[in-house]
Amino acid sequence: MWFAERWGWPPSVVDEQPAWIIERLPTLATAFDEAKDAVNERAAKAAEQARG
């Protein structure tokens, strides 16, 4: 599964997850990516303001 590769999970970890977790991982991954992008954008703006 793609999230196993994305987060470095071995097959045993993936196999142990309940179906409801597996079904929600794409939504979680999207939210995580959006949050990470927002943090990076804020950091870039702060660095730009610090430079003057």
- Computed on alpha carbons and rounded to an integer, the radius of gyration of the chain in Å comes to 16
CA nearest neighbour of 3 among 18, 51, 23, 35: 23
Distance CA 27, CA 30 (A): 5
CB distance 4 to 11 below 8 Å: yes
Alpha helix locations (H) across 1-52? 2-7, 11-16, 19-51
pLDDT in tens, 10-35: 988 988 999 999 899 899 999 999 99
pTM, 2 dp: 0.69
Instruction: Output the pLDDT for position 31.
Output: 96
